Each structure stands twice: as structure tokens, then as C-alpha cells.
Structure 1
Amino acid sequence: MKHCLPALATLTLALATGASAQTTKPGLWEITNKMQSSSGEMEKAMANMEKQLASMPPEQRKQMQDMMAKQGMSMGPSTGGGMNVKMCITKEMAERNELPQQQQGDCKTTQSPRSGNTMKFSYVCTQPPSSGEGMMTFNGDTAYTMKMNTTTTVKGKPEKMTMDASGKWLSADCGNIKPISPPKK
């Protein structure tokens, strides 16, 4: 599971980047993604993580969920073998088009100007080392779809992954999920 979480955090960064690339509605967002890797290692890691979460005693699972909520996200399996991530975007973040990002990772994102309802983006991270590019299609300020190709390292070997994702606004109230703090500059 520990090999999977850094990759998910990086992918979440890329998803969140696109979600806030236009003026978005502040509040709780749900991002659903499905990944495929060239070696199948990511899928095995995800399945293993889901088994570990399912086998945790309820108190331990709640403790982990609370810890993730304090870090600004909630994760869980989605239908069809994907992963759901919930993130909170504040009014101020939405007004500034500020990107909810992980605290660690040293990632740089480049976004092309929107053309109609689509936008292309790319990112490079040094920790964990990875890079990717993709395209987002927006449906107003409350939904989007995305396709992304990523190159990373899994168990010391280069890995290519593809991801199909969608984001949707759930509510103005983020509940117990706190906004991710902006990275220190």
C-alpha cells in the first residue's frame, strides 16, 4: 500500500490541477479515476490496498480516514475498479484558480490556454519522479472529464500508465474534509 499512495497523491495532484484550471465552484469535489499500467503492477497495488482497507478493524479504518481528511482528501474504491478521491476547494482557492496540491512532491504543472471547453496540461514531479500529459474537457464549473498518460517508476522500473478520470462538484459544504494547504514556496 505504501508504494501506491505516493502515486495516487501525484495523480490526485494532476487531477486537481485540471479541476481548478478554470473558475470552479468551491466546495467538495469527487474525482473518479481508473488507471491502467503497462506492467499491471499499479492494478495489483490498488487491489492489495483495497484488500488491506477492507480487512482493517472499523476503528483503524476510521482513524485512517480521519487522517486523510485532515490532509485534505478522502479515498475509496469506485465502481468498475477505479478509485474515488474527494477534495475540498475553498472559495478563495476557486477565485484565485489556486491548485489544491500535496505538500510534498516538488511538482511543476504547465497548462495551455483553454480552447472552447478543453485544455491540455503536462506535469513533471521530482519526488516521486514522474511526468505526464493530458487533456481535460469541462462541463461548466461543476464537472469535467480527463484523459492522461503518465510515466513513473514502480518498484525501481519505468512504468507507463493511462488514466481516465472525471470530476464532479458534490456540495458547497466539505464536511470533515479540510482544504489542502498550499505548498510553502
Structure 2
Amino acid sequence: MNRIFCTAFLLSVTAIPASANQEHIRPGLWEVTTTSDLLNLVPHIPPDSMRQITDLAKQYGLVMPEIRDKKAISHVCITPAMAAQDIPAHFYDGQSGCSVKNARRNGNRFQIEMFCDNPQFQGNGTAEGVFTSPENFSGHTEFDSIVMGNPVYATAETRGRWMGEKCGTVQPVTRPSPPPHIFPAQ
């Protein structure tokens, strides 16, 4: 059960895009679709546990993606300031106690290394990908971690597409202060 709980939380973190494009991405609303074998476990999460996961994600300013057809679909608002950055590491930095090191780009390709170290969650991973245009990207994330004493290895494929200039009700990603405990007591 802990593994399923941790897997769903990891997916909420890895569904957030990063950019590295010479032309810069377009600000506005983006749809991000993530596929992973771990999404096969989501139907087995009891409703009470899913509420805990959703509440935990909200504490970090994250919105749990919609899970449909073994895909996690989320909407992200990119501000003009975010879009102007070459490598906006803040997409990952500070999320669930993680920090970014060695963020780099080469043309339209990017790579980011993530490191997480707190009492309930330790691990590291990489996110890499390419922007094929200012309105589209694809990427791959790998994350190897220990969550509440359980080893969890996750990989995900991500695709993003620009939906329009207006974000509507979707708020930009922020870096809130983390709560004192990442996972509720068992």
C-alpha cells in the first residue's frame, strides 16, 4: 500500500514540465500528458488513500493530474517570466523536498538532475527532453528512490502542448514552504 501511495505522489511531481528552448516556450496554458507503467496501480488505490495523496499534493501547491486511460493529464500555467527562462529549474526545485542540480541545455534539448533528501523520501532522478517548437515538447523522467523505507523506481514519458494564451482558472506553479511531514502517519 505504501508503494502505491508513494507512486501516485511521485507521478504528481514528475508531471510538471521543464523547458530549455533557444526560442523559449509560449506563455499560457499547457496540457501535459504523462505515461508510466506505475499508472496501472492507480485503480488499486483506496478512495481514502487517494484523498490523502490529493491533500498532500495540495500542500505543495500541486494539483493531482487527471488519470485517464493509463495517462496522467495535467494543465500548467506558464507565466511570461517563466517562459523567458532558459532552464526554469523552479519547476522541480523545492517540490516535495527536492532540489535541482546540474540543469543544462544544448539547443532545444534539456537535462535536469533532481535530488531529494528528507526523513520520508530520499532519491535522485533525471528529466530530459526536447522542445520541438515553442508549443510542443516531449521528455523522459527516471527516478530512483526510497519512500518510507520502500524502494520505488519510476520512469515516465511526458508530452506537452500549448493550449492557448489564457490560463483560465489554472494557477502558475509556485514554490510553497513544505509542510513539516511529507506523508501522513500510518
TM-score (norm 2): 0.69
Q: Which residue does the alignment assign to 1:43?
A: 40
Deviation, 1:183, is 5.1
Cα deviation, residue 174, structure 1? 0.9
The corresponding residue for 2:184 is none
Please state whether the residue corresponding to 1:8 is helix, strand or coil.
helix
SS of structure 1 residue aligned to 2:65: strand
The answer for unaligned runs of 5 or more in structure 1 is 57-63
Which of 126, 133, 151 is the matching residue for 2:117? 126
Per the TM alignment, residue 88 of structure 1 is displaced from its structure 2 partner at its CA by: 0.8
Q: Aligned pair in 2 of structure 1 residues 96, 32: CA closer, same or farther (>3 Å)?
A: same
Unpaired stretches in structure 2, ≥5 consecutive residues: 178-186
Partner secondary structure for residue 124 of structure 2: strand
Alignment of 1:32-111 (within 5 A): 32-36=33-37, 43-44=40-41, 46-49=42-45, 52=47, 71=61, 73=63, 75-79=65-69, 81-97=70-86, 98=88, 99-101=90-92, 104-111=96-103
1:4-53 Cα distance to aligned partner (Å, 9 max, x none): 453123313xx42x2x333211111111111135xxxx632x2235x749
Any idea what SS the aligned residue of 2:76 has? strand
Following superposition, the deviation at residue 162 of structure 1 comes to: 1.6
How far apart are the structure 1 equivalents of 2:137 and 2:35?
15
Conservation of the 8 A alpha-carbon contact between 1:100 and 1:179 = no
TM-score with structure 1 setting the length: 0.70
Tell me how many residue pairs correspond in the alignment.
162
Contact kept, 8 Å, 1:73 with 1:177, in 2: the verdict is no
- State the Cα distance separating 1:126 from its structure 2 match: 1.9
Contact 1:73/1:178 (CA < 8 Å) preserved in 2? no
Counterpart of 2:20 in structure 1 is 21
* Counterparts in 2 of 1:34 and 1:157: CA distance versus 1, 3 Å: same
**1:139 counterpart SS class:** strand
Which residue type is aligned with residue 21 of structure 1?
A
Per the alignment, residue 167 of structure 2 pairs with 174
